[in-house]
Amino acid sequence: MKIALFTETFLPKVDGIVTRLSHTVDHLQRNGDQVLVVCPEGGMTEYKGAQIYGVSGFPLPLYPELKMALPRPAIGEAVDNFRPDIIHVVNPAVLGISGIFHSKINDIPLVASYHTHLPQYLQHYGLGMLEGLLWELLKVAHNQAALNLCTSTAMCDELTGHGIERVDLWQRGVDTETFHPIRASQVVRAHLSQNSPESPLLLYVGRLSAEKEIERIKPILEAIPNARLALVGDGPHRQALEKHFAGTNTFFVGYLTGVELGSAFASADAFIFPSRTETLGLVLLEAMAAGCPVVAARSGGIPDIVTDGVNGYLFDPNTSDAGAIAATMRLLSQKHERETIRQNARSEAEKWGWAAATSQLQSYYRKVVYSVKQKVVA
């Protein structure tokens, strides 16, 4: 099958969406499919055998790491030359609208997927009054698709509740080889803790952006005076966070990828994730695969992954900081329970390989193509 994948973000950018898409493209190509990725320009023309069609764009004012690539006629030529059997639009926003357009004018079956909870993001950028309008725009875009995929049951329910039709679940996936407990390293632990490897080491991995609510980790750090915090990642909120955490035992690590990231997870005592805007929280599954106990907000798609008290801890993000503090202190103080949590977290992650997630996606593609062909025949 030939798949044209339209996405607002792709390599070399690093985030959960790109992680999912890069593994998906890799496995689609391995399985004999051909993929064309239409995405903001990033200097790549090929990835794992897939064609990359980069569209020039400009940085978003509120989020310079993201490029806004506007639709243009040349995209149509690239799609026509590729002759896809199906178009998959990831987070239809700007560039994705081009994918919807080419699907309609060429009668190509369309699948869309929802990965970024944009309506909730608006609250963190002072644009909450636009939430209703954004849901209406999302509904119009997504309802052009024969199938809309979400990465958690919570997001399936949310989209359905806002009038988006034909919604189904695209199962989670994680690289259980890169993220593995065997990657624990005293050298890495000493680096992340700034030469205090004997101290409790708290870890955050992800974008340093307002919607991630990373500030909410500070009360936990203050409640455990000898603890160290390593923030892995970068983003538009870094400068504000550096001011917020000034005077605390916090280390801004920058980006880590691959085995280095896997070692960071495996070497930490707890992964703290306060975000309330996650459609899934793929990074949580990576932490669990590495045997790093998770303390996370009970919100969005996170409860799909974390079972409180079994393979991690959940806290109510809508109350005071007491729940997050208590969960973290319990994790650090109960050695036997912590080891059980580690083992259960790894066992949960082992259920979710990228090959299985991609096989499920291929099945969805085949059903959509078959359904559209049946309608044409009828």
Tell me the pLDDT tens digit for each residue of 73-86.
899 999 999 999 99
- pLDDT score at 277: 81
DSSP 115: -
Does residue 93 carry a pLDDT above 90?
no
Candidate from 59-63, 90-94, 307-311 with smallest mean pLDDT: 59-63
Residue 142: CA atoms inside 13 Å, Cβ hemisphere, count?
25
Q: CA dihedral in degrees (364, 370, 373, 378; nearest 10)?
A: -120
> Fold identical between 2-173+353-377 and 181-349?
yes
Backbone phi, then psi, for 201, in 5-degree steps? -110, 115
Q: Tokens representing 45?
A: 């023309």
Cα angle value 27/155/69 (rounded, 5°): 60
- Structurally, at CATH architecture level, domain 181-349 sits in 3-Layer(aba) Sandwich (3.40)
Q: What proportion of the chain, given as a percentage, has pLDDT over 90?
A: 80
What does the domain layout of the chain look like in residue ranges?
2-173+353-377, 181-349
Instruction: Give the span between the Cα atoms of 85 and 108, in whole angstroms.
Output: 7
Smallest CA-to-CA distance from 192 within 245, 253, 271, 265 is with: 253
Q: Is 314 helix (H, G, I), strand (E, B) or coil?
A: strand
Res 183 pLDDT > 60: yes
- What's the CATH fold of domain 2-173+353-377? Rossmann fold (3.40.50)
Q: Of 128-142, 217-231, 237-251, which range is least confident?
A: 128-142
Residue 280: both structure tokens together: 């899934």
Across the range 217-236, mean pLDDT stands at 96
Least confident of 65-69, 72-76, 88-92, 284-288: 65-69
pLDDT at 135 over 70: yes
Structure tokens at 317: 């993000």
Entry pTM: 0.83
- pLDDT for the residue numbered 376: 63
